Structure 1
Amino acid sequence: MADPVERITELLMILLETPVPLTLAEIGERSGLYESGDESSRKRFERDKRTLRELGVPIETTIEEGDAGASRYRIRPEDYFLADLDLTPAETVALQMAVSAVRMEVDWDEQAVLKLGGTRGVAAPLVADLPAPESLPVLFEAMTTHRPTRFRYSGRDREVALYGVLYRYGHWYATGADRGDGDRVKAFRVDRIEGAARVGEGETYRIPEGFDPGSVLQSDALLLGSGGETVARVLLDHTVAPTVLRARAGTGPANRQADGSVVIDVPVRNRGAFRSWLLGLGTHAEVLEPAELRADIVGWLTSMVGEVR
């Protein structure tokens, strides 16, 4: 029996080189790794396939007419290999600066830049601080390979055809058709997924043309959440006040100051969304009240500065 590393490597090469999807029997005939009709071979193949997917290899699964329900597999080279972006030195530096301005809990962003030929150490002012839920890579894989993803959410097992994954309101959201609820399109907050998400088997699906993932979410970011509501009193200087007032029209009266600044009351249920909104305003906004929320924001900003140093 072949060494597991050799076996998985050979499976990878077979699936990469085939111009058409192959059944398990056809893979076995070409490689001699998996005997047709043998249950232990089938289980070994499933383990090897799962290992490749856990490593981020996009194995495509299809079920075609005439196969008596047999699944076929292949890896599209265009999905597996990173295309040459042909970046100029200036574009590479610009990309590195953009990546360094967004901090994540893990270094996926830095790894991507290194694969594109960039280097470490290019600094830029921090403009976003993004969480990195454990299920995020799996969800992106499911979406880009157009295969359903399975996870547990709100006490129920779900199978979802993902149409989009996006960061809004201080959280990551996965949007798509919930197959257990008549393909109703829903949004799922990624950090609330219970346990691990996994990419499912079966036929691939199509994302509706022109689908906007953000259209599934509630329109007011700061009110998206199940927690109690807090009213934040925020001082806006004259440079951002007109823009913010237009964007948040109807949220309450504005107290205009002699210097052109404005004090507004902002209802908040989602602290993460409020932090992101406030960070986007930079030094042009200040939380005045309540004291507890102000202390929370100051502590969060202080911790960010300390980590950057």
Structure 2
Amino acid sequence: MSPDSPTSHDFLLGGDLPINRIGFGAMRLSTNGFTGPAHDPETGRAVLRRAVELGVNHIDTASFYASDDGAVSANALIREALHPYPADLVLATKVGPWHTPDGGLQQTTDPAALRPMVEANLETLGVERLDLVYLRIGMLEPPHGQSVAAQFETLAAMREEGLIRHLGLSNVDTGHLAEARAIAPVAAVQNHFHAGKRDDAELLTACEEAGIAFVPFFPLGGGTSDLTGDRMAKVAERHRATVPQIALAWLLASSPVTLAIPGTGSLTHLAENLAAGSISLTPEDLSDLA
């Protein structure tokens, strides 16, 4: 992608689903993270409706995005706010993690556990087929050396049944990607990557060469990294933009296959995030941010 290209062009997910390169991550609709007390559900529904009004047609969610007491969940809010869904809306979800009775989050490696997770997403979202399902392994860093074959084969079988349209991987390395692609097509990879954490360059290159979407989670750091700094602030001032907007613009400029899914429970932050799609970084900007 040339540095001055618009960053909000559509991307063809899986070769057949056109989506805006800035989508919406639903994690913060129900709580302030993977776990925690419930957020106001009416605010969550309002944010979702406004996101679609502003052109979002790619929402990333999961059945484990829910408050500790289970009273508020992202999937339920999406269905309540948007069903029946717009014809062009792509819903992506992920399976692997699950909520423990004490409100914590654990990861399964049992292939047999995946079908109930997929079925739970189908039911709570109110659809007969999921557009994109990621197999999530590990939590924040890829578990190197762990095979994904048995679990990915289970999801591939559900794809053949027609329950899933496209398959993805989350929190993986290049070895996991190669292993999965030998079983079934991979439409997207979702890893921890942003302007302050760029150690997945090899994986991004592999995705770019194969036309696979690279969809960073925590595109604005997620509270795990500090994106502030003189260089980022300098570019933000040049564009009369905020630092988060420049971080999103950098992400989209990093490769034509990168998609951004910033999440928020705020209408103000939603508009700010989506406006980043109109920022075109110059060669000087990219040099400053290198």
TM-score when normalising by structure 2? 0.27
Structure with the larger RCO, 1 or 2 (CA within 8 Å, 6+ apart): 2
Could you say which structure has the higher strand fraction?
1
Answer with 1 or 2: which has the greater Rg.
Answer: 1
